[in-house]
Amino acid sequence: MRIAILCILACLTSPDYSDFVSSFTPSPLTQKTRADFPAINTGTVYLDSAASSQKPSFVIDAQSEFDRTTHSNVHRGAHKMSREATRRYEDARSSLAEFINAGSRRELVFTSGATNSLNLIAHSWGIQNLEPGSEVILSIMEHHSSIVPWQLIQQNFCPGIKIKFCPLNSDNSDLDYDELEKMMNANTKVVSIVHTSNTLGITTDTKRIASIKARKAAADSIYIVDGCQSLPHKKVDVKDLNCDFFVASAHKMVGPTGVGLLWGKEGLLDAMPPFMGGGEMIDIVTTTGSTFAELPGKFEAGTPMIGQAIGWGAALKYLESIGGMEEIEKCENNIGTYLYESLQAIDGVTLYGPTNTSKRAALAAFSVENIHVSDIATFLDLEGVAVRAGHHCTQPLHDMLGISHTARASCYFYTTKEDVDIFVEKLKETIDFFRSQESGGADATGDGEGEIDYFA
């Protein structure tokens, strides 16, 4: 009762939503596709798609149909089922190569996810090419999976390398490209910068980064783009990005968990040693040594994630069938703007990243004055609203922002206006509840005491 009264009061006193919010028109794409996603049609308001998206029945069915009718190992069986499994697995590779406009299927390596892809590059390319004095340039907003592999290389193989972090501009709305230019020099061997930040929603200018690298870095340097938060949401053409390597994960783009991609320029991949040894990645094995398979097999040791790759192929088909990536991007910009502007209207909420909503991905990291975000996420969960709270695997970014954690609400094309409205209403109720408590929340100080353990 007390909460309800406080809520009504809060609604009466909170500022009006902007014009955009009051005139919001739902996207036909959301209306058309929402029913395809069984897990979010059970009552949960799912605003955690940046961590992992939901899957449509089409993808779930494709994967389970494979398991029910055709499951078998690939590349090694003489029998019919194995041949069919191999055909479907390789078809998924072809679809993915086409989806990102790779030069050839040889450039497309299936991995267990983007994290695996980034470790592969660091261990294979890094150990072979880095030497004392070499510099690795990352941005301060990188996901841990772009940072830790290079730290492991530094600790275990090349202690003489330097890892440098490019800052953001003064209002944290973009990468500081001038600073990036100043940081690069003839020792710069690796530039690894996220395409779209999973915390701030910033999308970096890959052509600009590639052009700075071409002018300033070592001639044999590489540029890696982490596309985990871009490939699911917009058209990506790896040739147009001007990078050397591109990584992403299926589970953030309506596909299965456990499968990701590494795209690399063929010449670079050809020159790199294998990352892991085992079956499938070899040509000839003797007691004294081994030779290796052609690309991409050289990097796919052991039994791959067959059903998951086939499920990813189905996910790509689904994304094309609903209108393609340009339509998805437009739809997400609409709901992302609605989310951002709705949050902006709540008293005490601080949002991070660009204020220009046309430049933001459809996610919003935020904190609330004097209330720990873990408390917020827990209360929202009790009300059936799923958001993430934690550092989102971007601890250096949070350190730079001067906060230990943020809450993050993230949308996909299936996110409805009602999802955002319920979230905003429940968030206001939560804030009002904590404001009504004299001593604040369980950990209103943000010192981490009593918080839940969060990952990505």
Ligand X SMILES: Cc1ncc(COP(=O)(O)O)c(C=O)c1O
Residue 393 CB, shortest distance to ligand X, in Å, is 6
Pairing of strands 188-194, 162-166: unpaired
| Residue 311 within binding range of ligand X, rule CB under 6 A | no
Residue 391 CB, shortest distance to ligand X, in Å, is 11
* CA-angle at 249, arms to 202 and 110, nearest 5°: 140
Residue 260 CB, shortest distance to ligand X, in Å, is 6
By beta-carbon proximity to ligand X, the closer residue of 114 and 373 is: 114
State how far the Cα of 222 lies from the Cα of 189, in Å rounded to an integer. Answer: 6
State how far the Cα of 436 lies from the Cα of 225, in Å rounded to an integer. Answer: 46
Of residues 358-417, those binding ligand X (CB under 6 A): 393
Neighbouring residues of 381: CB distance < 8 A, sequence distance ≥ 6: none
In this structure, what are the phi and psi dihedrals at residue 227, rounded to the nearest 5 degrees? -100, 20
State how far the Cα of 13 lies from the Cα of 435, in Å rounded to an integer. Answer: 14
Positive or negative, the CA dihedral 177, 183, 184, 185 is positive
Q: Given candidates 63, 119, 198, 333, which one binds ligand X under the rule CB under 6 A?
A: 198
Residue 276 CB, shortest distance to ligand X, in Å, is 16
Query: 271: which 2 tokens?
Result: 């020159």
Residue 227 CB, shortest distance to ligand X, in Å, is 8
For residue 47, the Cα-to-chain-centroid distance in whole angstroms is 14
Query: 32: which 2 tokens?
Result: 């058309």
Residue 359 CB, shortest distance to ligand X, in Å, is 17
| Residue 333 within binding range of ligand X, rule CB under 6 A | no
| Residue 145 within binding range of ligand X, rule CB under 6 A | yes
Q: Given candidates 92, 102, 138, 194, which one binds ligand X under the rule CB under 6 A?
A: 194
Give whole-number Cα distances, 258 to 1, 26, 249, in Å: 46, 33, 8
Of residues 209-238, those binding ligand X (CB under 6 A): 226, 228-229
By beta-carbon proximity to ligand X, the closer residue of 72 and 257 is: 257
Q: Given candidates 55, 75, 123, 143, which one binds ligand X under the rule CB under 6 A?
A: 143
Q: Where are the beta strands (DSSP E) in 130-243?
A: 135-139, 162-166, 188-194, 222-226
Catalytic residue among 158, 166, 331, 393: 393
For the question of residue 158 being annotated catalytic, the response is no
Neighbouring residues of 357: CB distance < 8 A, sequence distance ≥ 6: 333, 336, 337, 340, 341
| Residue 49 within binding range of ligand X, rule CB under 6 A | no
Identity at 208, one-letter amino acid code: R
By beta-carbon proximity to ligand X, the closer residue of 319 and 393 is: 393
Residue 308 CB, shortest distance to ligand X, in Å, is 12
Q: Given candidates 27, 249, 342, 410, which one binds ligand X under the rule CB under 6 A?
A: 249
By beta-carbon proximity to ligand X, the closer residue of 226 and 451 is: 226
Say how many residues touch ligand X, by CB under 6 A: 15
State how far the Cα of 309 lies from the Cα of 433, in Å rounded to an integer. Answer: 46
By beta-carbon proximity to ligand X, the closer residue of 32 and 235 is: 235
Say if CB 236 and CB 326 are below 8 A apart: no
By beta-carbon proximity to ligand X, the closer residue of 17 and 454 is: 454
Residue 233 CB, shortest distance to ligand X, in Å, is 12
Query: Burial of 123 by CB count in 10 Å (0-12 exposed, 13-18 middle, 19+ buried)?
Result: buried
Neighbouring residues of 113: CB distance < 8 A, sequence distance ≥ 6: 249, 250, 251, 257, 258, 259, 260
Of residues 97-126, those binding ligand X (CB under 6 A): 113-115
By beta-carbon proximity to ligand X, the closer residue of 54 and 430 is: 54
By beta-carbon proximity to ligand X, the closer residue of 260 and 313 is: 260
Catalytic residues: 393
Q: Which residues bind ligand X (CB under 6 A)?
A: 51, 113-115, 143, 145, 194, 198, 226, 228-229, 249, 260, 393, 456
